[in-house]
Chain A
């Protein structure tokens, strides 16, 4: 603020005031059940010509036999590799002919299929996806290829510092007998053992209409969705299913540091985490606010110091990601701080990061911080949910997490009602300075000593 205005010749006006806010609410879906027991949530979003369909299959990762972990992932991918009507190549071609995109992923709560397609071709694309669920080919040769492909991907993932850090953190946090301690898409050893028979067996045991929910969002005004559903997903038949109990999750968050050695790395990838409550917990809105104030954006406490004052990083973020929820509220999320810093700043950056956490604990959040967080988190809702895909994704998350269909709508009200004291308490309890597991992917020879000197826990080094 030194220049005297030589370059400034414009007319200045005071900062304008906001106009009157227009009402907006997170859309309420309509919930129905098809004759085969499949649950449908639908939501009309005028103007959204690309319809999003999210399909949840209650086939959780802990249902995988340990010897063949990754089988849920291979099954998910094999859904696009042919049916009783089309070969693998034909299936992909027919979907793309609709202008559709189709993805399938296996996560801890289950398998998720995501279809996006212009509304005029919804019937055809959903028909293909329904065929995949009803009568997947799971041909030997295609499964063999998917297994080979998955094995080829593993080294690429491990070479990526952020992915490598995540693998290590899960291994550290969860006991060896927990599915969560091991890679979501399987290890080299377990993936190698997967064949078409194993995929078929997993499908037969866990995939059926009564354990499936489809969320359909978009401009549905000119579409007879009931007729389309009856003709596609409605034709799938299957037996009843017993609900699997959700196993309890324990985690060891004893404060410690694990360095994954990367000689010569120019940056250190940081991933600092522990487990915390999921969305069922009353503290969730307060924790969302607290986490935003700590590391939600460039002007939050962490980046204010680490980026905008010190220049150690392009950005550090804190977040909570739900791993698995249960109807009784015993689920967990991963609470984490992540980012990367240049190698030589690793020690100083971690020292500053811990100072930020200690200051938060000692002094709490300010009312101004809390207010800005609420204004942002509530205010961005209409733009965050502009597309059909964003709405469908959140609705499907709610289903997967056993939450009521109006959870997100209510969350905005609860955020607005949450005060500074509650937000502080939630943030402090989410990030206790002595109960954080720190994974650093970086050059151990350069960073181990400075990190040991910080006293944030025992430091160990692993390779690979």
Chain B
């Protein structure tokens, strides 16, 4: 069992209270007076998994439209007012949810609440063809910039499509296809809003230097009269068998700088102890520069320039264990693949050493401390656990659950899931320059705007 960095790791002293307005809006508040800032986070329980055939990318395009004004907010007023108040803001869309967030100087909290309420209740008063056409172009350029114009940029999309079968709600990624982005209409956007943007389909969290009583009164004042509605259908079922049963493989011949082996292993859904065990297994095998794959491929065999595992946690479908290896020099992919398979098989047999468990738990613990160390991070995690698992308090105890997992559980999950017949594989073979596109990684979300340039 790993030791902990703080007396109550991660949750140390943090508390949250829960409330529900008459219209169904769930509210989570958490006080922290160390810095005069307050984070507002609003999760709508809608993501790309709710999209229908022919309209991929609509949830994310819609997220952009949420910044184009509402009844009392002109044009880009949402950005202008928050930034003019010394705040920062953005929105992102993933498979399972759409979130909007503002971090404000504490004395400007009420403004952020007013703004979120205005667009939750009255977006359609301002939504028009002009914004729709403009943001369609912006999102298409976002797709080009983040996926189509960078080496390996469409790998995430390709592996996702291999991992979830045709017709599965997670078969396509939130950015959507160019054709579907072109096909979306203003009426689609209106229907989307009427279906999913309701107080009873959202969780609002406010974290930081706040007066909870006053904050709740403001929330009641601004959000309380927004009518609930019940047009939402549950997303299509994302349940799949625990394992693929056979490998899925695609070879991509593109103008990329080096050969690459990428794979996605099917893993337990988020919110389970088995998912935490898988997280630890992936950390031991491919997290950081003391992991088994890094030591084997980069340090000893010297066949790879980079090698690692990541975990994409998903609650409504199997999670994905994400392998990414870029080869060194002229090394061929089968050499890498044989070494990876050997390491995974050995790990499934032996399990982690005590020291490996300690390292992996220390790494995951620090990641949690980082996430809960800012008011914005804490607000987002409270929403996440409220929306996906029905209980925001689970955010404050998550790190404790990771530290309880045993080495046996880690070995068991690796043996059951980290197998060649339980993965989708993408192999990149470089070709000379012609008319192919290029690209990068980290692609599970789209944002409303790029990070502001620092000064």
Which A residues contact B (CB, under 8 angstroms)? Answer: 1-3, 5-13, 15-16, 18-24, 46-50, 80, 88-89, 92-93, 95-101, 116-121, 145, 148-149, 152-153, 155-156, 158-161, 263-267, 269, 288, 291-292, 295-299, 304, 307-315, 317-320, 340-342, 371-372, 375-383, 386-387
Contacts and interface: CB of A to CB of B under 8 A. Distances in A.
Given A156-B258, A341-B141, A342-B141, A382 B36 contact: yes
B35 interface: yes
> Which of B5, B36, B218, B363 has the most A CB atoms < 10 Å from its CB?
B5
Contacts of A20: 107
Contacts of A310: 134, 137
Given A15-B72, A376-B84, A311 B136 contact: yes
B373 A387 contact: yes
Interface in B78-113: 79-81, 83-88, 103-111
A304 B79 CA distance: 12
B271 interface: no
B434 A263 contact: yes
Contacts of B127: 3
B429 interface: no
Given A1-B128, A340-B145, A379-B105, A121 B5 contact: yes
Contacts of B452: 296-297, 317
Nearest to A101: B366
Nearest to A303: B449
Contacts of B438: 159
Interface string B109-143: 11100100110011011111000011111111110
B366 A386 contact: no
B400 interface: no
Given A311-B133, A375-B84, A375-B85, A267 B455 contact: no
B437 interface: yes
B406 interface: no
Nearest to A285: B455
B358 interface: yes
Given A101-B366, A387-B373, A299 B76 contact: yes
B141 A383 contact: no
Contact of B355 (A97, A288, A376): A97
Contact of A267 (B71, B149, B190, B433): B149
Interface of B: 5-6, 12, 32, 34-37, 69, 71-72, 76, 79-81, 83-88, 103-111, 114, 117-118, 121-122, 124-128, 133-142, 144-146, 148-151, 190, 193-194, 209, 218, 221-222, 224-227, 256-258, 288-290, 295, 298-299, 302, 305, 326, 328-329, 355, 358-359, 362-363, 365-366, 369-370, 373-376, 433-438, 440, 448-450, 452-455
B80 A299 contact: yes
Contact of A148 (B133, B302, B362, B369): B302
Contact of A297 (B79, B126, B133, B137): B79
A275 B256 CA distance: 33
B447 to A, nearest CB: 9
A116 B79 CA distance: 32
A417 to B, nearest CB: 17
Contacts of A379: 85-87, 105, 108
B225 A8 contact: no
B6 A376 contact: no
A20 B105 CA distance: 10
A311 B138 contact: yes
